[in-house]
A = this chain, B = another copy of it.
Amino acid sequence: MKDDETYRQRAEILKALAHPTRLWMVDRLAQGEECVCQFVEAAGVDFSTISKHLAVLKRVGIVEDERRGKQVFYRLQAPCVVGFFHCVDAVLREETTSECALCQQREETNELA
């Protein structure tokens, strides 16, 4: 089942998250919606760059957008992705079994996939 469609789809979502700027944007959106121009100002990069990053996140369903007047506001459609970071950071700190909430949860349910 190596070329299972499921793995391809999961990879799409992880790939969409796997960029520093996009992770930064997700982090900000965890505290509430924000419009494109706010990201541009805070990041100091080109408008088109931010817009494309947001399009990547939108394409896989992590964020959704809403136009209000001239501005387009983005918010998290899948806020659970923020929970990833706990586990990612656990990997970074090499706390790979004890302190990661995900690990604990997994051991409880013993559900592997």
On A, residues with C-beta under 8 Å from B are: 1-4, 6-11, 13-15, 17-24, 27, 30-31, 42-45, 60-62, 77-92, 94, 96-97, 100-103, 105-106, 111-113
| Stoichiometry (number of copies) | 2
Q: A10-B20, A14-B84, A82-B112 are in contact. List 13 more A-B contacts (CB 8 A).
A: A2-B20, A2-B44, A11-B22, A14-B14, A14-B23, A17-B18, A27-B112, A60-B91, A78-B91, A79-B103, A80-B103, A82-B113, A84-B87
- Let me know if B13 and A92 touch, CB within 8 A: yes
Measured between alpha carbons, how far is A94 from B9 in the docked complex, in Å?
13
Question: A111 — nearest CB in chain B belongs to which residue?
Answer: B86
Measured between alpha carbons, how far is A96 from B97 in the docked complex, in Å?
26
Measured between alpha carbons, how far is A18 from B31 in the docked complex, in Å?
26
Measured between alpha carbons, how far is A23 from B14 in the docked complex, in Å?
10
- Let me know if B96 and A83 touch, CB within 8 A: no
By a CB distance below 8 angstroms, the chain B residues around A78 are 90-91, 94, 96
Measured between alpha carbons, how far is A24 from B8 in the docked complex, in Å?
9
